């Protein structure tokens, strides 16, 4: 933690993330969700004003409120997709590295095969298959209505981005499984599962944490790409990505796309700066 506190860019990144989190948290306390839903076509595409600081969208909805509630969804997708990515990647890396042999060969060839295909292409195929609204209806949670495609996108992003995590974890496990303390645990009859969870996995924590922070940024960016292409989370659920997708046909209304783009940029920059700081804190040899 001392090295992290001395890393200026990591502190700057943490402050950016704090600003974004406070924006979506405090904003939702001050502005009810109904403001982001209410539309008035007579006020469509109005530029920023005292009444609507970020302007209005194509059907007259307040963009300030929509960036707040859309930000909550985008951040939620980023974090939960990262959890899926880390769980799958860590499990595959642990099994491949510890078991070795044909299991390692098959799992790593699968990871390499998936890495050879662009993630966006994999995501588009998966969304084409699983985003049928007749098969996955929208749902309501805690009084808010969400599009079913939000859940689909979380799993699509998570299950198409685990490969690099698995390779990182595998490389760490390969160096750990022959360590003296692992050999000693094996010699006194400890089971493989006990060795993995008590001795191997805790020593993989640092690279997993760094991968997790960067995974959130990658998931938010991929959701934004899909939303911009009109293939992301469906209405009525707003995200920064699908707000930009709506604005694609109204580029003259700069405020429509500008504010969600700024929040995506701030979030990704903050996560990347913090991830670099965590990497340097866990591995002092990476400092120049």
Q: Could you read off the pLDDT of 225-271 as tens digits, one per residue?
A: 988 888 888 877 889 999 999 998 898 999 999 999 999 999 999 99
Residues 158-167: pLDDT tens digits?
999 999 999 9
Average pLDDT for 218-226: 92
Let me know if residue 224 belongs to a domain.
Answer: yes
More confident residue, 30 or 179: 30
Does position 215 have pLDDT exceeding 90, yes or no?
Answer: yes
Classify residue 55: in a domain, yes or no: no
Q: Model confidence at 288, in pLDDT bands (50, 70, 90)?
A: very low
Give the rounded distance of the alpha carbon of 157 from its chain centre: 8
Query: 7 to each of 16, 205, 264, 269, 283, how far by Cα in Å?
Result: 15, 20, 23, 15, 13
- The whole-number pLDDT of residue 136 equals 67
Average pLDDT, the chain: 88
Question: What's the confidence (pLDDT) of residue 126?
Answer: 81
pLDDT of 286 over the 70 cut: no
Q: Residue 183 falls within a domain, yes or no?
A: yes
Q: Is residue 36 in some structural domain?
A: no
Residue 138 pLDDT? 65
Distance CA 167, CA 96 (A): 9
Instruction: Give 146 or 253, the one with higher predicted confidence.
Output: 253
Structure tokens at 281: 């804190």
- pTM value is 0.89
Query: Within its chain, how far is the Cα of 7 from the centroid?
Result: 23
**pLDDT at res. 152:** 85
- Give the total number of structural domains in the chain: 1
Place 139 in a pLDDT band, splitting at 50, 70 and 90. low
Residue-range definition of the domain harbouring residue 200: 2-29+60-286
Rounded-to-integer distance, Cα 202 and Cα 105, Å? 24
Mean pLDDT of 277-286: 72
Per-residue model confidence (pLDDT) at position 287: 44
Query: What average pLDDT does the segment 61-72 reach?
Result: 95
Query: With helix as H, strand as E and coil as C, how does the chain read?
Result: CHHHHHCHHHHHHHHHHHHHHHHHHHHHHHCCHHHHHCCCHHHCCCCCCCCCCCCECCCCCEHHHHHHHHHHHHHHHHHHHHHHHHHHHHHHHHHHHHHCHHHHHHHHHHHHHHHCCCHHHHHHHHHHHHCCCCCCCCEEECCEEECCHHHHHHHHHHHCCCHHHHHHHHHHHHHHCCCHHHHHHHHCCCCHHHHHHHHHHHHHHHHHHHHHHHHHHHHHHHHHHHHHCCCCCCCCCCCHHHHHHHHCCCCCCHHHHHHHHHHHHHHHHHHHHHHHHHHHHHCHHHCC
- Confirm whether 34 is domain-assigned: no
Q: Which residue has the higher pLDDT, 283 or 218?
A: 218
Most confident of 60-74, 138-152, 174-188, 189-203: 60-74
53 within domain boundaries: no
Looking up residue 92, the CATH number of its domain turns out to be: 1.10.3720.10
Percent of the chain with pLDDT over 90: 53
What percent of the chain is predicted at pLDDT more than 70?
A: 92
Q: Is residue 65 part of a domain?
A: yes
pLDDT tens, position by position, 8-29: 888 999 999 999 999 999 999 9
**Mean pLDDT in residue range 206-222:** 92
Residue 41 lies in a domain: no
């Amino acid at each position: 933690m001392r090295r992290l506190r001395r890393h200026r860019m990591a502190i700057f990144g943490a402050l950016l993330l704090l600003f974004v989190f406070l924006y979506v948290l405090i904003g939702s306390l001050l502005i009810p969700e109904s403001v982001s839903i209410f539309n008035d076509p007579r006020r469509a595409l109005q530029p920023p004003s005292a009444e609507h600081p970020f302007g209005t969208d194509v059907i007259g909805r307040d963009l300030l409120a929509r960036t707040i509630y859309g930000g909550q969804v985008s951040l939620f997708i980023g974090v939960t997709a990262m959890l899926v990515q880390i769980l799958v990647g860590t499990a595959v890396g642990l099994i491949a590295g510890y078991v070795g042999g044909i299991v390692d060969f098959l799992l790593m060839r699968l990871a390499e095969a998936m890495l050879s295909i662009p993630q966006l292409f994999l995501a588009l195929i998966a969304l084409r298959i699983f985003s049928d609204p007749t098969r996955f209806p929208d749902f309501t949670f805690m009084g808010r209505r969400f599009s079913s495609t939000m859940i689909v996108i979380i799993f699509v992003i998570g299950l198409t981005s685990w490969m690099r995590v698995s390779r990182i974890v595998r490389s760490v496990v390969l160096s750990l499984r022959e360590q003296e303390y692992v050999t000693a645990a094996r010699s006194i009859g400890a089971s493989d599962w006990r060795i993995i969870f008590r001795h191997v996995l805790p020593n993989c924590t640092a690279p997993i944490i760094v991968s997790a922070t960067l995974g959130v940024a990658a998931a938010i960016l991929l959701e934004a790409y899909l939303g911009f292409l009109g293939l992301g989370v469906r209405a009525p659920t707003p995200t920064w990505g699908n707000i930009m997708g709506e604005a694609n046909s109204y580029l003259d209304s700069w405020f429509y796309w500008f504010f969600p783009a700024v929040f995506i940029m701030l979030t990704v920059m903050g996560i990347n700066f913090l991830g670099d700081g965590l990497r340097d804190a866990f591995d002092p040899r990476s400092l120049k």
